Structures are given as C-alpha cells and as structure tokens.
A and B are shown apart, each in its own frame.
Chain A
Amino acid sequence: MSKFAKIPLMIAGVGAGLFVGTFTMYMFNLDMKMMTLVAPLLEKWYDSREHDFYL
C-alpha cells in the first residue's frame, strides 16, 4: 500500500481509537468518577487557603 493510502487509514485508526476511548469514558461515566477523586483534594486545598474576611 502506498504512503498516501496509509495516511487516511492511520487517521481512521486514530479516530476510531479516540472514539472508543472517549465513548468508553462516556458510557462508564469515568470522567465523573475521576472527578469524585479530585474533588476531596480540591476541598482540602480550598480549606487551606487564607481568607480575607470582611464585614
């Protein structure tokens, strides 16, 4: 197969891979599950910050 014919195949392959990866992430809710791990760490970060209280 020529180089030029391979390029669309490579693009299709990458596209398919991206699709499978993102669709898996979407379908199994992996994005939000990951955020549930990030959120507590962020809470600690926000709690540790100094606050300029003013009334």
Chain B
Amino acid sequence: MKDLKHLIYFENLLQQANNELIAEAKKKGGIAVAYTCENVPEPLLNLGKCFSIRLHAPQTGSMDIATYYMTNLLCEPSRALLERAIEGGYNFADCVITPDGCTMINRCVENMELLKTMGQDNPNFFHEYMEIAFKNTPADYDLSVLQCTNHILKPLQEHYGVDISDKAIRKAVEKHNKLVKVIREIGEFRKGDKPRITGYEFHVLCLATYVCPVDLIMKKLEETLEELKTREPDEKDWRCKILLVGSEVDDSSFIKLIEDNGAMVACDRFCFGSYPGRTEIVLNDEEDALTQVCRHYIQNCQCPRMMNQEKVYSRKQYVADLAAEYDVDGIIYQQVKFCDPWAYERMLGSSMLIHDYGYPVLSIDRPYNASSSAGQLRTRVQAFVESIEIKKIQRGGTK
C-alpha cells in the first residue's frame, strides 16, 4: 500500500517522550498534565488550556538507576518511566496525576516525587494520587466523582486557575469525542478482507493521541482519515487477523513484529489502544457532566483491577465481542513481565476465550521493549499463525 502521508511525522513524534508538540503547546501557554493510567478520565485532564500526556518511555535502553530504586522485580514499564524521569525526560510536566490503580506504577511515581525528578522550576507543580473505582456500582461512581474533584479538578484550579465548571467539562468531552470519532473511523479501515490500514499504522496514530497534545495533531489525523478513504489496499492477503489484548503496548515495534509474521493486528484491546480508551462519551443535559464522565469510565473500564464478578466475566465477553466484530482468526493475550493484574487476567482470559468462546489464543508475556526479546516473540507468533492456518485448512477454509 502507498505510505500514509503523515505516518513518518507521527512515528517521529513517538521517538521521544518530550516531543516537539509538547514544547509547542507549552509555548502557547498550555499546561501539561501528565498521567500514568487509563483509569483517569482523560477529558478532565484536558480542561481549558490543559493538555494530557500519558507518560511513556520510548527507546528505553538501560534501566539501571530505576532498577536500583525499584529492584528488577517490578514491571519494566514502571522502571522505564522512572528511569526516563530521572534522566529529565518528563521535565515538561506541570503536574502528575496518578491513580492507585496498580502498585507498581504507583511506586514508580512515588519515587519520581521523592527524587524530585520534575517541577524543579515550577512552583505550581504538584503530584496527586487518587483512589479509583473497584466495581461498577453507584457507590463507585460517587467515589470516582469525589476523587476526581479532590485530586484533579480542585488542584488544577488552585494551582493553575483552570476553569473546572460543568461547561468546561462538557467542552472537554466534546473535544474528546471529536478525537474518538476520527480514531474510530480510522480504525474501521482495519476491518474486512482488504484492510486499508495496518495494525502498526493504526497503533502509531492511536498512540500519538495519548502522548501528544491532541489539538496539535487533529488536523493531521483528519487528513489521514481522508487519505484512507481512497487508499488502495494491498493485493496480498494477510495470513490471519488477530485481536491483541492486554497490558501496556506503547511500543509500536511490537505490533510490527506480529504483523511481519503475516498476522494483522486488526483490533487493539490494550492500554494505549482504542478499546476502550477511544470510546465516545455520551452526555445528557439532566445530570452534571462530571458524574456522567466518571460513570462512563467505570462502566467501560476493561482494566483487570475491576473486581466484581460481573466485570470479571464481562471483560472476556468484551474481548469476544470485539473478536466477532473484527472477524479475527485468533487472539493474542499479552502482558509485560511482572505485571500482577495481567498475570491473572491473561491466564483466566485466555482459558475462557478458548474454552467458552472457542477462539485460538496465544498467551505470552514480554519485555517492555519488544525488540529485546524479538526472536522469542517472533517464534511464538509464527507458531501461532501456523496453527491458525492449519485449523483453517482442517475446517475447509471457514472459521
């Protein structure tokens, strides 16, 4: 297929955590709200002149200093983020909002705070830690509203004079939904026998929406969408299509590695992915926007830390529904090594998707930087793709 006009532009943006658009946004008076987890309602971090940046650590090499502070027993994303912070890679941040979602990321940010890695030149800089919902119940909605008020809205208002009114939240939601619409429309081109965008290309675009000021990339995203409408798909078919599920994937080379083996990543249900992170938030006029936003994030949350049994089962159903919608041949459940929540979720999820839903599943753990274990991953993916092909042949070409 012909290269997408802006792909290199987006790829370049992803090479650095402190990319050029962040500097540009800050020059225009923007407030960089850094965050670490999909459980934080994104629109609340994009009120007024705020722009949200989800912390990631591209091109991570050595993590020796972070490993000294956190030991090599904690997951690599947490150590990579700390290492990057110590190196000064997040000096752009005007504040950091961290939910107590998983222990490791929480410890990572606490170390960042204690080591004073950010905000040295900013008297208004702050760290906030918040409780987040565990279940999908009205009590959890109330908890979420209170936590967002106390640990996002009020601090932003007090430190930076940000407008946190209902009107401001609605405006931020509108902006969020505009982005969601574009990304979802782009994502639709992954469907069908002749997809017009690869999983890798989509991941680059989607990842950029998390790690760049959205206002500054909207135009190029919209242009990319237009371009896709007339893009000629590849003649050659993919060997199979898969749904990728799991923990953080902020390394597009991992997607590329999978697709280089002929398995198209047709759908993405992982952190930094479009499901559920890029889901439209529908607001009504009867209720305050904050409550609706919090409820939306809880109801749509697919994070394994949501502990009520309905959520435990519905997460697998969600994966199965996506698999059906995108007509995939198989599912890859992946986690970064040493991630406790995904260790269990991967195990239960892959078992249920195989036995209860009848999908072939590859269950793997991997390093944060996929290229450091490329050979092993490639072998696993190759074998999985071959097994899918064999199953297809045995079924006479049907699913």
Contacts and interface: CB of A to CB of B under 8 A. Distances in A.
A5 interface: no
Nearest to A55: B351
A5 B7 CA distance: 107
Interface string B349-366: 001000000000000000
Contacts of B351: 55
A45 B351 CA distance: 30
B8 interface: no
Q: How large is the interface on B (under 10, 10 to 19, 20 to 34, 35 or more residues)?
A: under 10
A55 B348 CA distance: 7
Contacts of A55: 347-348, 351
A55 B363 CA distance: 16
B312 to A, nearest CB: 13
Interface residues of A, number: 1
A3 to B, nearest CB: 72
Interface in A29-55: 55
B352 to A, nearest CB: 8
A41 B348 CA distance: 34
Interface string B333-355: 00000000000000110010000
A55 B353 CA distance: 12
A55 B351 CA distance: 8
A55 B347 CA distance: 9
B353 to A, nearest CB: 12
A55 B352 CA distance: 8
Nearest to B351: A55
A42 B347 CA distance: 31
Interface string A10-46: 0000000000000000000000000000000000000
Nearest to B347: A55
B75 to A, nearest CB: 24
B316 to A, nearest CB: 12
A55 to B, nearest CB: 5
Nearest to B352: A55
A25 to B, nearest CB: 45
B146 to A, nearest CB: 37
A55 B355 CA distance: 10
A53 to B, nearest CB: 11
A55 B316 CA distance: 14
A4 to B, nearest CB: 71
Nearest to B355: A55
Nearest to B348: A55
Contacts of B347: 55
A43 B351 CA distance: 29
A55 B350 CA distance: 11
A55 B345 CA distance: 12
B212 to A, nearest CB: 41
A55 B312 CA distance: 13
A55 B344 CA distance: 12
Interface of B: 347-348, 351
3 contacts: A55-B347, A55-B348, A55-B351
The 3 closest A-B pairs by CB, nearest first: A55-B351, A55-B348, A55-B347
